[in-house]
Amino acid sequence: MDTTAIDILLVEDNASDAELTLRVLKKHHVVNKFQLVTDGEEALDFFFGTGKFSTRDISLLPRLVILDINLPKVDGLEVLRKIKADERTKSIPVVMLTSSKEQSDIIAGYKLGANSFIVKPVDFKKFMETVEELGLYWLRFNESLQ
Amino acid sequence: MSTDSLPLKDHNLLIIDDEVEVTKALTRQFRKKYNVFSASDVEDAFEIMENESIQVVLSDQRMPHMTGVDFFTKIKDKYPDAPKVILTGYSDIEAVIGAINQGQIFRYVTKPWNPEELDSVISEAFEKYELITQNRKLTQNLREANITLEEKVKVRTSELKKLNTNLTEVNREKNIYIGIIDAIFNSVPGLIYLYDEDGKLVRWNKKHELFTGYSSEELSQMHLLDFYKGDAEIQKIITEAVKTTFLNGFGETEAALSKKDGSVIPMYFTASKLTIDGKNFFTGIGIDITERKLAEAEIKNLNQELEQKVIDRTEQLKIAYKELEAFSYSISHHLRTPLRAIDGFANILLDEYALSLDVEGKRLFQVIIDNANKMGQLIDELLSFSSLNRMEIKYSPIDMHNLAYSAYDELTGKEEKENIKFRLQNIPPATGDASLINVVWINLIGNAIKFTSGKTDRIIEIGSKTEDDSIIYYVNDNGAGYNMEYSNKLFAVFQHLHSPKHFEGNGVGLAIVQRIIEQHKGRVWAEGKVGEGATFYFTLADRKDNKNQLQKNI
């Protein structure tokens, strides 16, 4: 298990969406190092050094979390709530991915401290532009804080 | 009477005597007082009597052809009123007295006569005549009066007879009516009663006895409130109803009446005030409403059941609807993910493997990408259409003019603005959900832009008119129009009246418009003609309704 510091943690259960997202991020050299987890439980394990990630150095935090809202086991909003409730992790920017414009999800996400929302479009080109833009913005935002 | 006065012209005296000297002497004596006619024989006398109106006749008894008495007897019937005075010698006195006794002679004067005595007798004779004629006249008057009176009595009698006949007829009819009223009184299927002012039962019908179970003797002793013994509440209702009756002339109430056997029956009572000889009464009818009460209870029961059913069914529907919503929502979402993969990977292929693809290969990938995107749009539209149903309408005042203008502004580029003659009237504000009404304008104006796109002289007009107190907004264009036969398809989901080759569209726009307008309790409709353009009209619920709605939301 790679225990070195990573740039982005991508939490996405859909393999196609995950691959497309990662391709965008890589292609435009936004990041080099990332970690993909495929459900909410794994995401929490990653942050809190449990389960699959029990051997990980949890002091190493990603610079950005891209978190899908619909996840198996523990859903995205719950993961978000836990990240934002922990002193150690709460300042990591979280960009939420959602496949709908469902207002209640978005409002709930912002209330819990989500930094941005990307409504995943069918149009890959649009998606690419958005991910690039927001990913870069938040990575840089985080850098400027550190 | 004075001898110096002129002869009384209407006092005619006839003197008869065969001795001329006597006639002369007598004429001399009376001519100053009366009109004197003289005759020397009976024949002359008859003639004078015939021609003149002689009042008093003075005749000698002894004459050659006929005695004075005989003469008087002869004229007695013809001239009964004229007093007859006879001059007679002493020797003839016997015959004269007989005649006097028979009433034919008024007086006699013996020869030789005393002129003063004769004068007095003649004077009396005239008075006698006067009396007789007056008497006759009075008698005549009396007779005439009598006849008139008799006539009057006759007329009055016949009038009375007639009145009497009428009265008999009226009485007969009265008896018939009394008979009818009695029959009705006793055959009405309800209690009929007459109470006096103190609430004492005065009259009632047979049914009253049969229904309550009280005999006629018992009823005659009963008071109104005796029928509601032991229930102060009902007694109060009855007392109030009686009070109302005497106040307004009429009253009605429902109350449960207790029969003699103790059973209690729900009744409906009416009462009308009645004044007889200065005393107040009230009369009315009481009807058994047991069945009505039962029916009412049953209806109430059924209604409650029905209401409960409606509530249950509504709840079921709500649940089913929510499930359906969740289902279509999740389906739409799940459809988007593979679509995104199709589009995404096709894009990557086109991008990263461009060198391995020939022109046709690239075109085919582009077709895949275009269709995937189109499907993505469809799903998005469907999602927003179905989310309309869940949306709560937030009412607020809307500046329609401003909203329509910004919709047009947003939808058109610089070039289109130059090509289109856009006419926006000064349309009035409305009340509704501003963001939803914005969607309406965007769709209607968007359609107008779309369907005029083939024209060189493009005109889009937005205006309003008022009909029956409600404002109708419209968007008119001179574009492709449509065939009115297909009006009913205009607003249905996925209905195109134009080939997509000519006009792009996903077939949801007008369905969304209709849904929004329906949610605002308004109406939307269209008019059009192929090749000449179309007009879309819509109303929002009348302003009063919207105000109420606004109040609710506040």
- A2 pLDDT exceeds 70? no
More confident residue, A49 or B495: A49
Strands B8-16 and B34-39: parallel
- What's the confidence (pLDDT) of residue B497? 56
Q: Looking at residue B510, which CATH number applies to its domain?
A: 3.30.565.10
Exposed, middle or buried, B482 (CB in 10 Å: 0-12/13-18/19+)? buried
The CA distance from B251 to B271, in Å, is 5
Domain that holds residue B199: 188-288
Angle A124-145/B290-352 helices, nearest 10 degrees?
80
The CA distance from B247 to B354, in Å, is 104
Across the interface, which of A16, A99, A102 has its CB nearest the CB of B344? A16
Percentage of chain B with pLDDT > 70?
Answer: 93
Contact B347 A120 (CB under 8 A): no
- What's the confidence (pLDDT) of residue B495? 60
Query: Which CATH architecture group holds A8-16+29-145?
Result: 3-Layer(aba) Sandwich (3.40)
Indicate whether B498 and B432 sit together in one domain.
yes
Indicate whether B313 and B203 sit together in one domain.
no
Q: Give me the mean pLDDT over the B320-326 stretch.
A: 79
The CA distance from B218 to B206, in Å, is 13
Indicate whether B113 and B230 sit together in one domain.
no
The CA distance from B39 to B18, in Å, is 8
Contact A16 B347 (CB under 8 A): no
- B83 pLDDT exceeds 50? yes
Which residue type does B384 have? S
Indicate whether B410 and B544 sit together in one domain.
yes
Task: Among B387, B422, B453, give the residue marking a domain's end.
Answer: B387
Record the tokens describing residue A57, joined without a space: 């150095």
B382 touches chain A (CB under 8 A): no
- What's the confidence (pLDDT) of residue B5? 52
What Rg do the C-alpha atoms of chain A give, in angstroms? Answer: 14
CA distance A67 to chain B (A): 16
Q: Looking at residue B264, which CATH number applies to its domain?
A: 3.30.450.20
- Number of separate domains in chain B: 4
Q: Which residue of A has its CA nearest to B370?
A: A123
- A91 pLDDT exceeds 70? yes
A16 touches chain B (CB under 8 A): yes
CA distance B339 to chain A (A): 6
- What's the confidence (pLDDT) of residue B215? 94
Predicted interface score ipTM higher than 0.85 = no
Indicate whether B426 and B481 sit together in one domain.
yes
For residue range B395-454, list pLDDT tens digits in order. 889 999 999 999 999 888 888 888 889 999 999 999 998 888 998 999 999 989 988 888
- What's the confidence (pLDDT) of residue B31? 87
Indicate whether B347 and B397 sit together in one domain.
no
Q: What is the DSSP letter of B356?
A: G
The CA distance from B176 to B335, in Å, is 93
Q: Give me the mean pLDDT over the B52-77 stretch.
A: 88
- What's the confidence (pLDDT) of residue B403? 92
Q: Given phi > 0 = left and psi -120 to 50 = alpha, else beta, which region is B533?
A: left
- What's the confidence (pLDDT) of residue A79? 92
- What's the confidence (pLDDT) of residue B200? 94
- What's the confidence (pLDDT) of residue B249? 93
Across the interface, which of A100, A101, A120 has its CB nearest the CB of B340? A120
- What's the confidence (pLDDT) of residue B245? 94
Position B427 in a domain: yes
- B70 pLDDT exceeds 90? no
- A5 pLDDT exceeds 80? no
Q: How far is CA B397 from the centre of its chain?
A: 48
Q: Give me the mean pLDDT over the B331-346 stretch.
A: 85
Mutating which of A22, A122, A123, A124 best tests the B interface, going by the most B Cβ atoms within 10 A?
A122
Highest mean pLDDT among A133-137, B494-498, B503-507: A133-137
- What's the confidence (pLDDT) of residue A4? 59
Exposed, middle or buried, A36 (CB in 10 Å: 0-12/13-18/19+)? middle
How are the residues of chain A apportioned to helix, strand and coil, as percentages rounded to the nearest 5?
45, 15, 40
Sign of CA dihedral B125, B127, B131, B133: positive
Across the interface, which of A70, A99, A122 has its CB nearest the CB of B343? A122
The CA distance from B37 to B55, in Å, is 11
- What's the confidence (pLDDT) of residue B552? 45
Q: Give me the mean pLDDT over the B341-358 stretch.
A: 89
Q: Which residue of A has its CA nearest to B338?
A: A16
CA distance A69 to chain B (A): 12
- What's the confidence (pLDDT) of residue B323? 82
- What's the confidence (pLDDT) of residue B549? 47
Neighbours of B25 (CB within 10 A): 14
Contact B340 A17 (CB under 8 A): yes
Percentage of chain B with pLDDT > 90?
Answer: 43
Contact B340 A101 (CB under 8 A): no
A23 neighbourhood in chain B, CB within 8 Å: 348
Contact B338 A16 (CB under 8 A): yes
The CA distance from A135 to A139, in Å, is 6
- B391 pLDDT exceeds 80? no
- B498 pLDDT exceeds 60? no
Q: Give me the mean pLDDT over the B98-126 stretch.
A: 86
Contact in structure between B264 and B291 (CB atoms under 8 Å): no
Q: Which residue of B has its CA nearest to A23?
A: B348
**3-class DSSP state for residue B78?**
coil
Task: Among B360, B387, B414, give the residue marking a domain's end.
Answer: B387
A52-84 burial string, b = 16+ CB within 10 Å, else e?
ebeebebeebbbbbbbbbbbeebbbbbbbbbbb
The CA distance from B447 to B505, in Å, is 9
For residue range A46-79, list pLDDT tens digits in order. 998 888 888 888 888 888 899 998 888 888 999 9
Position B165 in a domain: no
Mutating which of B332, B348, B378 best tests the A interface, going by the most A Cβ atoms within 10 A?
B348
pTM, 2 dp = 0.46
B198 membership: H or E segment, kind and range: none
Contact A20 B337 (CB under 8 A): no
CA distance A100 to chain B (A): 7
- B1 pLDDT exceeds 50? no
Q: Give me the mean pLDDT over the A82-109 stretch.
A: 85
Sign of CA dihedral B173, B179, B184, B185: positive
B373 neighbourhood in chain A, CB within 8 Å: 122-123
Q: Give me the mean pLDDT over the B478-505 stretch.
A: 67
For residue range B441-475, list pLDDT tens digits in order. 999 999 899 888 888 889 999 999 988 888 999 99
Angle B509-519/B434-451 helices, nearest 10 degrees?
150
Residues 90-109 of A with CB under 8 A from B: 99-102
For residue range A113-125, list pLDDT tens digits in order. 888 888 888 888 8
Indicate whether B217 and B255 sit together in one domain.
yes
Contact in structure between A66 and A97 (CB atoms under 8 Å): yes
Position B166 in a domain: no
Q: Give me the mean pLDDT over the B338-358 stretch.
A: 89
Indicate whether B526 and B422 sit together in one domain.
yes
Place A145 in a pLDDT band, splitting at 50, 70 and 90.
low
Q: Give me the mean pLDDT over the B370-378 stretch.
A: 85
B499-532 burial string, b = 16+ CB within 10 Å, else e?
eeeebebbbbbbbbbbbbbebbebebbbebeeee
- What's the confidence (pLDDT) of residue B451? 87
